[in-house]
Amino acid sequence: MFFRLEHRGQHSALWTYASPLLALALTLVTSALIFALLGKNPGVALYTFFIEPLTAQGSLAELLVKAAPLVLIGTGLSLGFRANVWNIGAEGQYTIGALAGGGLGLLFYGSNSALLLPAMILAGLLGGMAWAAIPAWLKTRFNANEILTSLMLTYVAQLVLIYLVTGPWRDPEGYGFPQSRMFADAGTMPILVSGTRLHLGVLIALLVVLAAWGLLGKSLVGFQLKVVGQAPRAARYAGFSDKALVWLALMLGGGLAGAAGLFEVAGPIGQLTPQISPGYGFTAIIVAFLGRLHPVGVLFAGLLLALSYLGGEAAQIDLGLPGAVTGIFQGILLFYLLGCDILIHYRLHVGHRAGAAQPARATS
Amino acid sequence: MSGDFGWFVPVVLSVISASTPLLLAATGELVTEKSGVLNLGIEGMMLVGAVVGFAVTLSTGSAGLGILAAALAGAGMALAFAILTQILLANQVATGLALAILGTGLSALIGKGYVGVALQPLPKLTLPLLSGLPVIGPILFHQDVLVYGSFAFVAGVSWFLYHSHAGLVLRAIGDSHHAAHAIGYSVVAIRFAAILFGGAMSGLAGAYMSLAYTPMWAENMTAGRGWIALALVVFATWRPARLLLGAYLFGGITILQLHVQGLGLAIPSQFLSMLPYLATILVLVLISRDAARIRLNAPACLGKHFHASG
Amino acid sequence: MRRRTFNKLLGATVATAALGRVGLARAADPFKAGFIYVGPVADFGWSHQHDLGRQAAQDALGDKIKTTFVESVKEGPDAERVIHELAAAGNGIIFTTSFGFMNPTIKVAKQFPKVYFEHATGYKQADNVSTYNIRFYEGRYIQGVIAGKLSKSGVVGYIGSVPIPEVVMGMNSFMRGMRTVNPNGKMKIVWINGWYDPGKESDAAKALIDQGADMIAQHTDSAAPLQVAEQRGVQGFGQASDMIKFAPKAQLTSSIDHWGDYYTQRVQAAMDGSWKSQDVWGGLAAGMLKMAPYTNMPDDVAKAAQDAEDGIKSGKIVIFSGPINDQDGKPKVVEGQALSDSQVLGMDWLAEGIEGTLPK
């Protein structure tokens, strides 16, 4: 055998932090090669992709605005994934959350009440939870697999959105175009730094990350989520209710996805339109795992993915690279990040060395 | 077209073409999942298969070579997934999603030169005499090779999983990789094979899109069918025969709702468009109630890492 | 690199003003024009045609200008950022080519008063925001005339994307044209609730043919419906570009979006300072819409099509002039009157002869 992996027994503190850096270095080398093949100066291209979107205060705000929904949804999903509940329909929960909260904003269009926005946020949260409640109920009552139900409901949610914005919720002054009115000021997320798009939702996303961190570290629920994910059978013996955890996981994921949807429509978009998400609900699944299902990891993963989108746009504008390169670049980046994580749990041996036989190991 | 069945044959033919790409991709994914591996990257593998199949068919003039190349391209994409998840033990869900993103970008880049280029549809293979039969002739005996193939693969996979030794080993690995390893089977090698098969089938599904269903290349032309295929494996509760039911239920209702729209009923089209998704959920609920039975078919190690050292 | 911060640009519009004038001051620097597309340039439909327009402008103005585009920009939160980036990157004129980019365009335009913006298919203008669109419905009328002449069953199948006025006016215009030659002509509609899914578009075409349509028209992006028509031995009409390669026997004509001349003019105007905010809705007469050759039809039908085209160009044919009944037979436009442009732009009813419903 040329190289061999040996389980460390305990995860490496060093590689927990070093592996993403190694992955970034490998991505830099690989993408430099690709850019050179495409006839672009690799140095300039890499600068455009990675540094340019970070170089100014305004750009940083944009990065946070782009990352916020990914982080918010990713945090909720990661808690559920820890319990092995496979909610892959966050995109639909996002949509229904946006509709529930946004619908309230349209219903009270003339209102100047300071309560309108909080009510919309609450409605967004509840809307996402309600949509996630369907897979939860079907799972706990009828044993129907949540992968299928949550995914299918995403398409249904999108069609509900199209129906509402082309029909009943259409802007009466909008020449029949498929969009709602713009939300009034009372129904719009306040901007935190004037001159930017940095809105309240970004701050809330950060607070949610902190709260989730606390939840995982200290509370019984966090402990349950951890145990169930790591050793489901032990959890069952310990008397944790499977059903309660399915509900909890889907409510957390759905609620935060719904809130994220509301933040986007009442924030950067400002109205309901047929397209309110560039696939945030799906990308957030990657963010959750890239962040190793930990809230702080999710935060960094969300920022990195957001950066890769912004970098991809900059590469199109400044370098004339086709949009497809963004996807390839993201794929490579993710592959390295995911692949390098092995160094946290395993030691790499190169060459021959007769090691003591160890039992097979599995981690979930 | 004969008598009252005039409408019947073309409708069934539409259902077949709508269902075939789902069936092909889902059959491959089912084998992958039965070995205990969850690959969410079907959409990306399908797209790469579609563009490579189209490009090779166009440049060689041989649809056979195109189909072969599509399968190889799908398998090639799956190889990257296999290396990451089986050797480097990367998380399968995230790696699969990354594969979908990569495949979308890669197919777009490969396909730049093929946009707006037309191709003859994949020829129909006609069985003499039989294809002349009314109704069943055109439905059963006048199809292209990938449609026949989709049925053959379901039958083959079904036989393989439940009647061959290799299939038994594959299922054993999916259910308990430790036990299988202890007996002396190479878990990683067999999972590699299952992943590559899944990729090749996704490639074929892509080829069906770009060579037969709509003979052209256009970016993102699979339009989410990879995700539906993924859901269908769950729908089928990991049993090949039920994939047929799932794919044809979904394809059938998709076509049906278009026909209902054409009738001009006063139902908003969005609600009709929801029907395939809602029907799939409903049927899943109906067939999921027997929990023990599903647990029997679901691979217990799905999505879990395996590492044997020493 | 060339990007400015939000704050700098907002705080000092003077700086932005200087930015916009760079192209005028230094002749050596090419004037920059930015484009943002909702789909990939390789969609062979809507975005593809806009990109051909960009290339035409680039070819016409040569190295005096430098064009940049960003493709596959999702409507929604991303659009405003990308438009902003294009403005900050020093583009003197920016074309935003999808309806969903309307409000983001207006927002960014406020922050960059010296940059010119051109938004396709929308209705909001500003001092530095023009709107432009093509009268696609004019082509539909001609298609209707051809279908009326050629359809044996008298039933046309129409594949709709999303029920919005743009699509609805195309259906009604088609019906107007068809009924001038076949007063009993009928139209069946199938909505795919999206703009682009070749597979579903082909399924929709098949369903319509199975229900007796022998002419297929579409308001979706791909050539898939025409391919189905070719295979099933019926005929149809292309969309956005000439799709004759996909259906050499089936395509009768195609409405071709022709943005190039407009883009060239507007970039030129932005360069020489003559740019003014305007609302352009150009059709056949303006050369923004062109018909692909009338093929696969007898000479008399081709002549009728050509006559309709000439009539629309000269203004002799006013498509939405009364009497027009809606699908329930109720009069919508009375004899001697015609719909204004704004009434056409807000069209939310289907004309007599069309089966199907619109969401209310």
Q: Tens of pLDDT along C210-252?
A: 999 999 999 988 899 999 999 999 999 999 999 999 999 999 9
Alpha-carbon gap: C166 to the closest alpha carbon of chain A (Å): 8
Alpha-carbon gap: C248 to the closest alpha carbon of chain A (Å): 31
Alpha-carbon gap: B36 to the closest alpha carbon of chain A (Å): 12
Contact partners for chain C, using 3 or more CB pairs closer than 8 A, are: A, B
Please choose, from the candidates A12, C206, C247, the residue with its C-alpha nearest in 3D space to the C-alpha of residue B17. C206
Respond yes or no on whether ipTM tops 0.85. yes
pLDDT band at B301 (very low <50, low <70, confident <90, very high): confident
State chain B's mean pLDDT as an integer. Answer: 91
**Both tokens of residue C342?**
């704004």
Q: What is the pTM assigned to this prediction?
A: 0.91
What is the predicted pLDDT for the residue at A341? 84
- Among B84, B294, B310, whose Cβ lies nearest the Cβ of A355? B310
**Distance in angstroms (rounded) separating the CA atoms of residues B171 and B158:** 12
Alpha-carbon gap: A53 to the closest alpha carbon of chain C (Å): 9
- Among B7, B213, B269, whose Cβ lies nearest the Cβ of C199? B213
What is the predicted pLDDT for the residue at A361? 47
What is the predicted pLDDT for the residue at C12? 34
State chain A's mean pLDDT as an integer. Answer: 87
**Distance in angstroms (rounded) separating the CA atoms of residues C15 and C141:** 49
A162, C162: Cβ pair inside 8 Å?
yes
Please choose, from the candidates A95, A263, A271, the residue with its C-alpha nearest in 3D space to the C-alpha of residue A180. A271
Mapping DSSP to helix (H, G, I), strand (E, B) and coil, where does residue C116 land?
strand
What is the predicted pLDDT for the residue at C19? 39
Considering only B33-42, B133-142, C165-174, which range has the smallest mean pLDDT?
Answer: B133-142
Cα angle C200, C201, C207; round to 5? 85
Which residue is closest to C227 within chain B, CA to CA? B214
Which residue is closest to B112 within chain C, CA to CA? C42
* Residues 146 through 175 of chain C touching chain A, CB cutoff 8 Å: 162-165, 168
- Among C202, C245, C359, whose Cβ lies nearest the Cβ of B118? C245
Query: Which tens digit of pLDDT belongs to each residue from B37-91?
Result: 999 999 999 999 999 999 999 999 999 999 999 999 999 999 999 999 999 999 8
Comparing A42 with A250, which gets the higher pLDDT?
A250
Cβ neighbours of residue A29 closer than 8 Å, sequence gap 6 or more: none
**Distance in angstroms (rounded) separating the CA atoms of residues C160 and C163:** 7
Q: Indicate if the pLDDT at residue C277 is higher than 50.
A: yes
pLDDT band at A236 (very low <50, low <70, confident <90, very high): low
What is the predicted pLDDT for the residue at C18? 36
Q: Which helix (DSSP H) or strand (DSSP E) does residue C289 occupy?
A: strand C289-291
Residues of B in contact with A330 (CB under 8 A): 98, 101-102, 105
Cβ neighbours of residue C297 closer than 8 Å, sequence gap 6 or more: C146, C149, C150, C252, C305
Is C71 an 8 Å CB contact of chain B?
no
Q: Indicate if the pLDDT at residue B201 is higher than 90.
A: yes
Query: Which tens digit of pLDDT belongs to each residue from A117-169?
Result: 999 999 999 999 999 999 999 999 988 999 899 999 999 999 999 999 988 99
Q: Chain-centre distance of CA C70, in angstroms?
A: 19
What is the predicted pLDDT for the residue at C24? 44
Which residue is closest to B99 within chain A, CA to CA? A331
- Tokens 């054409």 correspond to B262
Q: Chain-centre distance of CA B183, in angstroms?
A: 32
Q: Which helix (DSSP H) or strand (DSSP E) does residue C174 occupy?
A: helix C165-181
- Residue B252 phi, psi dihedral angles, 5° rounding: -65, -45
**Both tokens of residue A342?**
């092995």
What is the predicted pLDDT for the residue at A228? 64
**Distance in angstroms (rounded) separating the CA atoms of residues A31 and A311:** 13
Is C55 an 8 Å CB contact of chain A?
no
Q: Chain-centre distance of CA C148, in angstroms?
A: 24
**Distance in angstroms (rounded) separating the CA atoms of residues C244 and C229:** 12
Q: Is B186 exposed, middle or buried (0-12, 13-18, 19+ CB in 10 A)?
A: middle
**Both tokens of residue C37?**
């597309």
What is the predicted pLDDT for the residue at C6? 32
Helices (H), B141-239: 145-163, 165-175, 177-183, 187-207, 225-235
**Both tokens of residue B254?**
């998709």
What is the predicted pLDDT for the residue at A322? 85
- Among B271, B280, B310, whose Cβ lies nearest the Cβ of A148? B280
pLDDT band at A298 (very low <50, low <70, confident <90, very high): very high
Contact partners for chain B, using 3 or more CB pairs closer than 8 A, are: A, C
pLDDT band at C21 (very low <50, low <70, confident <90, very high): very low
Residues of C in contact with B55 (CB under 8 A): none
Whole-Å CA distances, A174 to A185, A264, C358, C359:
19, 21, 16, 15
Q: Is A353 exposed, middle or buried (0-12, 13-18, 19+ CB in 10 A)?
A: exposed
Q: Indicate if the pLDDT at residue A343 is higher than 50.
A: yes
**Both tokens of residue A240?**
């944790």
- CB atoms near residue B106 (< 10 Å): 23
Residues of B in contact with C192 (CB under 8 A): 273
Cα angle C96, A200, C11; round to 5? 60
* Residues 320 through 349 of chain A touching chain B, CB cutoff 8 Å: 322-332, 334-335, 338-342, 345-346
Select the residue from A163, A286, A336, A349 to test the B interface by mutation, using most B Cβ atoms within 10 A.
Answer: A286
**Both tokens of residue A279?**
């696939």
What is the predicted pLDDT for the residue at B31? 97
Q: Best-predicted range by mean pLDDT among A4-18, A117-131, C192-206?
A: A117-131
B98, A328: Cβ pair inside 8 Å?
no
Residues of A in contact with B295 (CB under 8 A): none
What is the predicted pLDDT for the residue at C45? 84
**Both tokens of residue C125?**
């203008």
Contact partners for chain A, using 3 or more CB pairs closer than 8 A, are: B, C
- Tokens 């940095």 correspond to A198
pLDDT band at B2 (very low <50, low <70, confident <90, very high): very low
Q: Give the burial string for A56-88 (b: 16+ CB within 10 Å, else e).
A: bebbbbbbbbbbbbbbbbbbbbbbbbbbbbbbb
Q: Which residues pair with C131 in a beta bridge?
A: C119, C279
Alpha-carbon gap: B243 to the closest alpha carbon of chain C (Å): 20
Considering only A253-262, A269-278, B116-125, which range has the smallest mean pLDDT?
Answer: B116-125
pLDDT band at C2 (very low <50, low <70, confident <90, very high): very low
